């Protein structure tokens, strides 16, 4: 497991059987750690074995559709002796309990040592069994921690929502999107809404944008990736570069398709790269495609990141969390 950072702290011995008060009898501290960080509790002998190899395949897989290589999680591995109280409040924890007396199982707990915490414990009798259960549940484990991060990102962005803008959207377009106040409206027409956020970190620019656009639904070909991309290019062409150029999908890099459940609806998620034609500029994008409640129009939510000096994973996560705040007027209760 050579690509994972090993972090050894031997301040006190940890045991799942140690005294843990009932959560109802105490006030939990806020969880610690940054978005995308994951603590893996695993003894070194197994970290260097089959279990370690399986963990790399599950949690160090590259994020798709970003300009440079990034793992889907930032992983720190500690042995059980090093899993001290200082680390027990981390937001994402995966513990592997490998013992010959164990049965193979996965246990999921929330808010054990801190608020808004996700803890997964995998028990297995040996190294081979632990590796097998990790590999078998790769997608489920990734989804579990990813969805926990999306929930946290959503809660964070909702603290700074521009309610006036959300209400305007509802009245004009029939949908609501909880747009943070740092975003400003760049374009707003009958079938196209575009907000963006500019910031400077150090001397480097970061740009995030979100578009919502729709068109008539004719048949199921609307969910074919090529059809989605062709329609996407028609709308994102409206984004202009400085001093020239128009946004387009970088077709030399294959677009990744995923079938997802979005707001209890079938949806297609596309991930890939965008470019600005005519100038050297580009970045990553994600796009959700689904039908409106009347199944008359195809709705797309498109988010993009421009951050040439920075990794994109967490900026994309912020946008995807914003996507989850989408609601149609018919589905909003007073």
* Span 279-327, pLDDT tens digits: 889 999 999 999 998 889 999 999 999 999 999 999 999 999 999 999 9
229 to 90, 165, 298, 306: CA distances (angstroms): 39, 28, 13, 19
Q: Which fold has domain 161-331?
A: Protein Transport Mog1p; Chain A (3.40.1000)
Which pLDDT value is given to residue 16? 34
Most confident of 21-25, 88-92, 171-175: 88-92
Q: 229 or 329: whose pLDDT is higher? A: 229
H or E segment and range at residue 322: helix 313-323
pLDDT exceeds cutoff 70 at 148:
yes
pLDDT exceeds cutoff 70 at 204:
yes
pLDDT exceeds cutoff 80 at 174:
yes
Which pLDDT value is given to residue 245? 83
Percentage of the chain surpassing pLDDT 70?
90
Report the alpha-carbon distance of residue 255 to residue 260 in Å, rounded.
16
H or E segment and range at residue 38: strand 37-41
Report the alpha-carbon distance of residue 13 to residue 83 in Å, rounded.
7
pLDDT exceeds cutoff 90 at 168:
no
pLDDT exceeds cutoff 80 at 266:
yes
Q: How confident is the model at residue 160 (pLDDT cuts 50, 70, 90)?
A: confident
pLDDT exceeds cutoff 70 at 330:
no
Mean pLDDT for 122-134 is: 98
Report the alpha-carbon distance of residue 322 to residue 303 in Å, rounded.
9
Percentage of the chain surpassing pLDDT 90?
77
Is 129 within 8 Å of 147 (Cβ atoms)? no
Is 150 within 8 Å of 324 (Cβ atoms)? yes
Q: Is the bond into 243 cis (omega within 30 degrees of 0)? A: yes
- Joined together, the tokens standing for residue 254 give 């294959």
pLDDT digits (tens, 9 = 90+) for 101-121: 999 999 999 999 999 999 999
Which pLDDT value is given to residue 18? 36
Burial bucket for residue 305 (CB in 10 Å: 0-12, 13-18, 19+): buried
Provide the residue ranges of all domains of the chain, joining segments of one domain with +: 5-157, 161-331
pLDDT exceeds cutoff 90 at 47:
yes
By C-alpha distance, which of 239, 317, 325, 324 is closest to 66?
Answer: 317
Report the alpha-carbon distance of residue 246 to residue 298 in Å, rounded.
23
Q: How confident is the model at residue 241 (pLDDT cuts 50, 70, 90)?
A: confident
By C-alpha distance, which of 82, 140, 81, 144 is closest to 117?
Answer: 144
Phi, psi of 321 (to 5 degrees): -65, -40
Which pLDDT value is given to residue 331? 58
Which pLDDT value is given to residue 167? 83
User: First vs last Cα of the chain: how many Å apart?
Assistant: 52
């Amino acid at each position: 497991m050579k690509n994972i950072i090993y972090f050894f702290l031997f301040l006190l011995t940890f045991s799942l059987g140690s005294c843990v008060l009932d959560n109802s009898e105490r006030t939990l501290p806020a969880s610690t750690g940054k978005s995308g960080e994951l603590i893996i509790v695993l003894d070194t002998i197994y970290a260097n074995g089959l279990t370690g190899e399986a963990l790399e395949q599950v949690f160090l897989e590259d994020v798709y559709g970003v300009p440079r290589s990034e793992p889907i999680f930032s992983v720190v591995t500690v042995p059980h002796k090093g899993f001290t109280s200082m680390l027990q409040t981390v937001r994402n924890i995966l513990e592997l309990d490998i013992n010959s007396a164990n049965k193979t199982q996965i246990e999921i707990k929330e808010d054990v040592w801190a608020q808004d915490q996700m803890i997964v414990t995998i028990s297995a009798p040996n190294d081979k069994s632990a590796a097998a259960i990790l590999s078998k549940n790769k997608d489920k484990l990734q989804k579990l921690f990813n969805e926990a991060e999306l929930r946290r990102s959503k809660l964070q962005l909702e603290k700074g929502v521009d309610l006036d803008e959300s209400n305007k959207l509802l009245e004009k377009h029939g949908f609501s999107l909880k747009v943070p106040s740092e975003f400003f409206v760049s374009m707003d027409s009958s079938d196209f809404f575009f907000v963006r956020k500019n910031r400077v970190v150090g001397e480097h620019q970061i740009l995030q944008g979100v578009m919502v656009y729709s068109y008539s639904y004719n048949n199921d070909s609307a969910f074919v990736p090529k059809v989605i991309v062709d329609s996407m290019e028609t709308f994102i062409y409206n984004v202009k570069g400085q001093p020239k150029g128009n946004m387009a999908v970088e077709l030399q890099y294959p677009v990744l398709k995923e079938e997802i459940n979005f707001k209890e609806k079938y949806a297609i998620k596309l991930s890939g790269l965008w470019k600005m034609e005519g100038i050297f500029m580009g970045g990553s994008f994600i796009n959700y495609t689904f039908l409106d409640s009347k199944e008359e129009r195809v709705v797309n939510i498109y988010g993009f990141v421009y951050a040439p000096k920075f990794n994109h994973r967490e900026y994309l996560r912020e946008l995807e969390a914003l996507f989850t705040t989408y609601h149609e007027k018919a589905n909003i209760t007073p």
